[in-house]
Structure 1
Amino acid sequence: MGLLPQRSVRASPYLYSDAEISCLISATATLRTPLRRATFATLIGLLAVSGIRVGEAISLDRGDVDLAGGRLTIRFGKFAKTRELALHPSTVQALRSYRRIRDRSAPSTGMLAFFVSTAGTRLIYCNVHNTFQRLIRHVGLMPRSASCRPRIHDLRHTFAVRAMLDAYAAGEDGQTRITLLSTWLGHVHPRDTYWYLSAAPELMALAGQRLEAHLATGSGHR
């Protein structure tokens, strides 16, 4: 008893639907101030459409968000890796709208952060997590299992799975997309990206179909 170390159980990703993400963003209207509402609506939207980590988002400085060029510079990624991400025009517009609200409503503190609290300071992860869980409860999202509970980090998992589903739907090579996705997400090893995708039955089914088709084609040329 107690002689063997326990293996930690990794949480299963909660993959959000479009409707669930929309509901979470709409639920930010229940937050106290216009700035807080705008901050969390924009933050959740950015996480959903970019797949960046929460820590990367709250570490963004104003100069890292190039709205003219439509790019994000992630300077504080995991393992101190810096990368640049291209933004969709609709995302640029949402960030521009938030910047106007932030500049008009946030106290002038000289803070370089792009996303700020009602005090004009950089967001703190634990506060972001707690607010997101409050929104989860307001929307009424429930755990799918003991190890699959809706977390803010799962917006990143959802982005990764959708990127691969889109690639398969477009007939793209899955391995090529995996490599690009791994770089986009800031993963050091593609195996980390594979784990993100392993929790999506629909994606695994598509991958299996691709493999079967490849093997059938290969056998026909023998």
Structure 2
Amino acid sequence: MGRKEDIFMSKQFLGIYASYIKQYIAFKRGLGFKYKTEEMIYSIFDRFTIERGETIVGVTKELADGWNTRKPNESNSYRYHRAVCLNQLSSFLCKTGIHSYIPQLPPCKSTFTPHIISQDEITAIFKACDEVKTQKKVMNSIIIILPALFRLLYGTGLRISEALSLRNKDVHLDENYLVVRDCKNGKEHMIPMSDSLSNVCKEYLKYRDLLPFSLSENDYFFVSLAGNVCKRDAVHSWFQKILWKANISRSDHGPRLHDLRHTFSVHSLAMMAESGIDLYCSLPILSTYLGHQSLESTNSYVRLTSEIYPDLLKDVDMICLNVFPNIESYETN
């Protein structure tokens, strides 16, 4: 799906389910879930009920079928996620005494395949980052962070949300490690860095510290020229400009900013295989590094690596490529 839902993200629920949606989101967050994507989906569902003219609380089969109908160009996984959100809301309503229909979930065979960026393209992206300039003076520009940020994303496999959430106290450049607190699974973990990546971040700090403001250890590591927190939308926008400057064509299949994480994973597995590290050893290492809760989430990268670098894994027993069930579980956000 083309993920243009941000235009609906007022986070103000106005339909007849508004109070119930707010209660349910508060309940889930009270259990420790971030529930950001789900909040976005519920805001779209709220708008959907308003457009349908729903006036009576209680999910009907007709409403559920309308909501679960696949949208044009929508991936199976995103459609499934929307359906799960409705099922959970319906269950919540039932528990509060409001009869609601709980539909069967649609099949969820992922149609998404990550775009793995080549080494030459990575080099071109970094070169474009180093040479990019703004056309006008914009004090809130994030151009200062681009060379270090994109290298950090590729060099560590961090999600963009995790990278932008780093505080100064989380970045230990002399010891070459990061403390990642704002993880997708809610668990804090440490990530080692290479000397070269630490040096790039130190170079960024040298210029950042010349800006006319002071930052404490609790302030964000990546900030705009005005000292403000960097927005994800701005980073995504700059990534598209960088791709254009690097002469890298983009299609519906990427490359996307999150593909830097997928590329890190595949390149890391390939490098470990080339170094002679057994797959049974490298897979748990990569899984821990990425912050995955299970090896199943990481196993998909083994198959992808074998397709891109068949010679590297030709001597590996083919049973290793199916260490876990063949479930396509690439992260899409």
TM-score (norm 1): 0.84
- Paired residue for 1:21, among 122, 132, 140? 122
Gaps of 5+ in 1: 215-222
2:246 is equivalent to residue 131 of structure 1: no
1:217 is aligned to none
Q: Which moved more, 1:64-73 or 1:17-26?
A: 17-26
Q: Which moved more, 1:69-78 or 1:188-197?
A: 188-197
Q: Deviations along 1:10-45, whole A, 9 cap, x unmatched? A: 432111122212221222222327984441011001
1:86 is aligned to 192
Matches of 1:203 and 1:22, distance apart in 2 = 19
Q: Write the letter of the residue equivalent to 1:113.
A: Y
Matches of 1:41 and 1:139, distance apart in 2 = 13
**Structure with the largest fraction of helix:** 1
Q: Write the letter of the residue equivalent to 2:289.
A: W
What SS does the aligned partner of 1:79 have?
Answer: coil
* Deviation of 1:183 (Å): 0.5
2:266 is aligned to 161
TM-score (norm 2): 0.57
1:49 is aligned to 155
- Paired residue for 2:249, among 142, 145, 159? 142
Asked which structure has the greater RCO (Cα within 8 Å, sep 6+), the reply is 1
1:58 is aligned to 164
Matches of 2:213 and 2:183, distance apart in 1 = 28
Gaps of 5+ in 2: 1-64, 71-75, 78-109, 321-333
What SS does the aligned partner of 1:72 have?
Answer: strand
Cα separation, partners in 2 of 1:151 and 1:140, compared to 1, 3 Å:
same
Matches of 2:225 and 2:176, distance apart in 1 = 26
1:182 is aligned to 287
Cα separation, partners in 2 of 1:213 and 1:51, compared to 1, 3 Å:
closer
1:95 is aligned to 201
RMSD of equivalent CA atoms: 2.7
Matches of 2:154 and 2:125, distance apart in 1 = 11
Matches of 1:106 and 1:87, distance apart in 2 = 29
Cα separation, partners in 2 of 1:136 and 1:172, compared to 1, 3 Å:
same
Matches of 1:195 and 1:187, distance apart in 2 = 12
What SS does the aligned partner of 2:304 have?
Answer: coil
Q: Deviations along 1:113-147, whole A, 9 cap, x unmatched? A: 0011122111111111111111112222124x64x
* Bigger Rg over Cα: 2
Q: Write the letter of the residue equivalent to 2:228.
A: T
Give the number of equivalent residue pairs. 211
Q: Deviations along 1:172-198, whole A, 9 cap, x unmatched? A: 110211011000000111111122343
* Deviation of 1:212 (Å): 5.2
Q: Which moved more, 1:176-185 or 1:86-95?
A: 86-95
* Deviation of 1:100 (Å): 1.2
* Deviation of 1:203 (Å): 4.1
Residues 107 and 118 of structure 1 are in contact (CA less than 8 Å); yes or no, is this contact kept in structure 2? no
